[in-house]
Amino acid sequence: EELEAIEQVLKGETFTMGPQVEAFQKEWAEYCGTEYAFATSSGTTACNLAVQLLGLKPGDEVITTPITFIATNAEILRLGGVPVFADVQYETHNIDPESVKEKITSRTKAIVVVHYGTQMCDMDEIMAVARENDLLVVEDAAHVPGAEYKGKKAGSIGDIGCFSFHPLKNMTTFEGGMLTTNSDSIAEKVYSLRCIGLKNYEDQRDYWLPYHYDVVEVNGVIGNNFRMDEVRAAVGRVQLRKLDRLNAKRLELTQYVNSLLETVDGIDLPFWAPDRTQVCYLYNPRYKLHSRGYPKDDFLRILYYEEGIQPILHYLPNYLFSVYRRRGYKKGLCPVAEKVFFEETMTLPMHPRFTYEDLEVMARGIRNAIAKIKKRRGKG
């Protein structure tokens, strides 16, 4: 179906910002339950647009999460803003509303939340804090397209939502993203920011007078080319029709591998909050033997080099990257985030094309790695 959609675009005459993009945006807004949706060239550029729409001035603070891909927060630095990292909840890795409250100052302008891994943040609490302090809220929903919190879709609760369609995500346009909002004023600004700051002259007499377009700044920012092309939009429309089915398959497979690991000593299954849906982008069981004298890195080495199972880690607390450390951020800023990253969390392979047999191989490798690390350290 994706190949057929691409072929139709190649037979047409418009290859960027044409009817496929318009249709994809409309369909995405309807799916998410938002007034507006704007297709972008990547999830990163969707995040960049979102931050540019906040109207930050140098020194303004944005409360955000440390457990995310670096793209969530990089634009704050570029605009001269100050990322202020709130800690995360131990159970979900999502930003902790109580920590957010503690971080608010007179310079705070917005809150950025990341719906991590499989489920959305505690949005009622986040929105209450934001409204009480007159702050904008950005939802980075790159991990959770289609997820719901108390019946509301990701990207529809905050002031701005951001999505990624990277090939590893629950649906893909090869590379691409989407920005959502219910705000007329925010939507109006997106048109220029997403397209080099272009804007029609208010007193345009003929289409060439005084020129075909003007170039303006929006919120003090000169726009960039963050547009999506027709090929990716056509693929996205096909993928959107499959999204609920793909999410359901991820959930089915995750529930199966959970059943294989639930009795393994040293592994805790992911926590799923009961009032929201799970879309299972990342599979994050916890390694619980680090505090019992079996280092997590030793376990990961056995799992990868001896059992052939490749775990990865999502994500190094952002303030530990060099770009933050040179600005004075230090280890110890978010103790919960550091504990789960360095001692417990791991991401295991998860994809809707996996078979039950694939997952049985993975579970067997984990059991073997647990047995080996215990035996080698003389405590098994």
pLDDT tens digits in sequence order for the chain, 380 residues long = 999 999 999 999 999 989 999 999 999 999 999 999 999 999 999 999 999 999 999 999 999 999 999 999 999 999 999 999 999 999 999 999 999 999 999 999 999 999 999 999 999 999 999 999 999 999 999 999 999 999 999 999 999 999 999 999 999 999 999 999 999 999 999 988 999 888 888 888 898 999 999 999 998 899 999 999 999 999 999 999 999 999 999 999 999 999 999 999 999 999 999 999 999 999 999 999 999 999 999 999 999 999 999 999 999 999 999 999 999 999 999 999 999 999 999 999 999 999 999 999 999 999 999 999 999 876 54
Q: Which helix (H) or strand (E) holds 115?
A: none
Q: Return the DSSP state at 199.
A: E
With 0-12 / 13-18 / 19 or more C-beta atoms within 10 angstroms meaning exposed / middle / buried, residue 46 is buried
Q: Return the DSSP state at 290.
A: G
Nearest to 317 by CA among 304, 334, 293, 292: 334
Report the amino acid identity of residue 191: Y
First to last CA, the chain: 52
Distances (CA, A) of 62 to 54, 77, 103, 183, 318: 9, 10, 10, 20, 14
Query: Under a CB-based contact definition with an 8 Å cutoff, are residues 73 and 83 in contact?
Result: yes
